[in-house]
Amino acid sequence: MTAGPGATGQPTDPLAGFDAVIHAPNRLRICALLDTAGEAEFGLVQRQLGVSASVLSKHITVLMDAGYVEQRKAVRDTRQRVWLRLTGQGQEAYQGHLAALRAIVGTTGPTP
């Protein structure tokens, strides 16, 4: 999502991308990790965030209910593993949220 012109030709409000679902610190970190990795195993995400499985599960459920994250279950090393990834909708929401945060703090990109 960008701050370019909307359907009416008027600039869109970059704050419109602010997403309260993503904004919670652990959910923001989950989205950042999945955006970078593409797909990550539940246990890896848990270790990266330093949270319990139940805490991570609750955050993943919120993101899945919003349509932002999907999971894939697979057997690996005789154990069932859960792999997580952002959906297309989740990627758009995450990028829109980042743009809104940048607008709030007054930056448009990385500083040199």
Name residue 70's amino acid: E
- Tell me the whole-structure pTM to 2 decimals: 0.80
C-alpha 99/C-alpha 22 separation (Å) is 13
What class does CATH assign to 18-102? Answer: mainly alpha
Q: What is the pLDDT of residue 3?
A: 44
Overall residue count recorded for the chain in this entry: 112
Return the amino acid letter for 103: A
Helices (H), the chain: 20-23, 25-37, 42-49, 53-65, 88-105
Structure tokens at 13: 């409000």
Please list the pLDDT of the chain residue by residue as tens digits (112 residues): 444 444 444 456 768 889 999 999 999 999 999 999 999 999 999 999 999 999 999 999 999 999 999 999 988 778 889 999 999 999 999 999 999 999 888 865 555 5
What residue segments make up the domains of the chain, in order of their start? Answer: 18-102
Instruction: Output the pLDDT for position 107.
Output: 64
Q: How far apart, in whole angstroms, are the C-alpha atoms of residue 38 and residue 26? A: 17
